[in-house]
Structure 1
């Protein structure tokens, strides 16, 4: 899929106006039922509970190594583009943080729209002040230096799923996250899913109006079908 930066920005802004629940329903209808991510991902701040963007993947592993930093991590995040979501994979249950406030700030300055982390973060109070949404698995003050190291980026990665053990996230797949959780939209379906989700959003708005005017649930079901 090749989209211009302007088109990608337009799609991202439109996705921010639909809900993960509607996207999940549309993917089910289209025969793609296993693109929800595990409910263990949570937003670090309720006021920054929604993010949308194009997956930029970073993969690492628990491994002891000497030195005072991880040059591969710095090189990896230098490739981030505006509207991207940095997706971090590798050893999510190991108890170390993958990044903190300073690297998050650097990513934000590159136009990164948020981060999805199958692992931990620290400096949450500072990150929460940045208007930079982050969905993560856990928090930990323990740094990754000497313990966890980036070994690849912009490659397919696995993240834990809601209905399957693993969901494959590829570079330029689309990530939508809100209060209900996180959905992956395969890159080849991004435009179709969005159009259908927007239509469902309009349908639900009409249903709310009818219910508020006193229509019963059986009447709504007869008029609109599944609700």
Structure 2
């Protein structure tokens, strides 16, 4: 089995990681996407097929912990590699599930509970989810490509974790997600932010967010849209 264990952004301590994550929770994916464009990173958006389950499940923000699998018939009784993969998750991580599964559930209530106990802050699933009502009770954000009651046991098996994976993209067929990249998802969709530019993206997105707040205030006070665009430029 191909497995590469990667340090979780080892240069940052737990407190710094959480502070960064909380700051990202205050910016919109739309602003972050605009910043990524200015950096020449035009294909970091994920497919519009990814939606939150439930719809009001909350914002997704955290470091990518990747898990990969494939359709592979096997005997009933569970997937031990799936449990091994999940055991490596740390606080502030978002588990990113990838693979060629179709029509089956990669992720359900019990995995969500186990992830949350380890400090995981959400999951992104390029595949199926079930137990949606019960996951909602956990207040655990999940974005997935589809829902299904059909379990993965005997059908889909984990074959790697903490390796680069490919997730369906918005403006490209695939977006690469590496361990330690940052995942951000809200009502507009999901982005993957390469870890090399994380600090730059955050600072610029915060500046853009503050600028938009100023524009909204001035518009409410009577400034015309034309005058706002003349003052602030395109936003």
TM exceeding 0.5? yes
CA RMSD, 1 decimal: 0.9
Return the alpha-carbon distance in structure 1 between the equivalents of residues 220 and 149 of structure 2: 48
- Shift in Å at residue 179 of structure 1? 0.2
TM-score, normalised via structure 2 length: 0.94
1:42 alignment partner in structure 2: 51
Tell me the distance in 1 between the aligned counterparts of 2:31 and 2:77: 45
TM-aligned CA deviation for residue 6 of structure 1: 1.5
Task: Summarize deviations over 1:82-107 as a string: whole Å, max 9, x none.
Answer: 01000000025x10000210111011
| Cα drift, residue 48 of structure 1 | 2.0
Match of 2:42 among 33, 36, 44: 33
Deviation (angstroms), 1:65 = 1.2
- What is residue 90 of structure 1 aligned with on the other side? 99
Measure, in 2, the Cα distance between the counterparts of 1:193 and 1:140: 35
Shift of 1:7: 1.2
Counterparts of residues 94-173 of structure 1 (less than 5 Å): 94-173=102-181
Runs of 4 or more, structure 1, over 4 Å off, are none
2:30 to 1, 9, 21: 21
Looking at structure 2, the residues matched to 6 and 178 of structure 1 have their Cα atoms a distance apart, in angstroms, of 23
The reply to whether residue 60 of structure 1 matches residue 69 of structure 2 is yes
Structure 1 unmatched ranges of 5 or more: none
3-state SS of 1:7 partner: helix
User: Could you report, residue by residue, the CA deviation over 1:56-112 in whole angstroms, capped at 9, with x for unpaired residues?
Assistant: 0000000111241000000000000001000000025x1000021011101110000
1:124-161 deviation digits (Å, cap 9, x = unpaired): 11001110000001111111011000000000000000
2: distance between equivalents of 1:213 and 1:186? 39
1:30 Cα deviation from its structure 2 partner? 1.1
- Give the superposition deviation at 1:47: 2.7
Task: Name the stretch that deviates more: 204-213 or 4-13.
Answer: 4-13
Structure 2 match to 1:11: 20
Q: Are 1:79 and 2:88 matched, yes or no? A: yes
2:56 aligns to what SS in structure 1? Answer: helix
Structure 2 unaligned segments of length 5 or more: list them: 1-8
3-state DSSP of counterpart to 1:38: coil
What CA deviation, in whole Å up to 9, does each residue of 1:148-179 have, x standing for no partner? 00000000000000100000000000000000
